[in-house]
Amino acid sequence: MTLSLLYGLTGAALVALGVHGVILHAHPLRRVLALNVAGAAVFLLLVSFTRRDPGVDAVPQAMVLTGIVVTVAATAVALTLARCTGRNGRDEDEPR
């Protein structure tokens, strides 16, 4: 089995797990976590799609690097939003 196939298949399974978690959980922190798992998996997929011996293509590597930075920024905004909306939306959303 080649490296790119192994990590590609791992990425496929993790995408499924991440998306599953986003829908399954109600806790904002758990959702952000699951989304981050799915994000890491997408990066694995992107590199696995383009990796050929002797090494990794620099363009997808740069894209993934950009992606990681953007993910951190988006995570920060999502968590800040969770701290605000949690406070206001709690009453409607709370299970009875």
Partner 1 sequence: MQAHVVDFLLALAMLGLGWRIVATEGPFRAVVLFITFGLVVALGWVRLGAVDVALAEAALGSGVTGALLLFAYRDLERHGLGFERARGRRMRLVLGVLSAGLGAAVAAAVVRVQSRHAPLAEAVTSRIDQSGVGNPVTAVLLNFRGYDTLLEVGVLLAALLAVFALRPAVASGGIPKTGDPGLADGLVRVTTPVAIVVSGYLVWAGAYVPGGAFQAGAVSGAMLLLLVWTGHLEGRGFAGFGWRALATAGPMVFALVSVGTIPVSGGLLHYPHDAAGTLILIIELGITVSTAATLVLLCTGAMSLHRRGPR
Site for partner 1 in 10-29 (CB under 8 A): 10-21, 23-29
| Exposure of 8 in the CB half-sphere (CA atoms within 13 A) | 12
State the nearest-atom distance from the C-beta of 67 to partner 1, in Å: 9
The verdict on 34 binding partner 1 (CB under 8 A) reads yes
State the nearest-atom distance from the C-beta of 73 to partner 1, in Å: 4
The verdict on 95 binding partner 1 (CB under 8 A) reads yes
Beta-carbon contacts of residue 64 (< 8 Å; ≥ 6 apart): 43, 46, 47
The verdict on 44 binding partner 1 (CB under 8 A) reads yes
Q: What would the two tokens of residue 75 be? A: 């995570």
The verdict on 55 binding partner 1 (CB under 8 A) reads yes
DSSP-assigned letter for residue 57:
-
Instruction: Compute CA distances 41 → 37, 75, 77, whole Å.
Output: 6, 16, 21
The verdict on 53 binding partner 1 (CB under 8 A) reads yes
The verdict on 35 binding partner 1 (CB under 8 A) reads no
State the nearest-atom distance from the C-beta of 31 to partner 1, in Å: 10
Q: What would the two tokens of residue 82 be? A: 């969770």
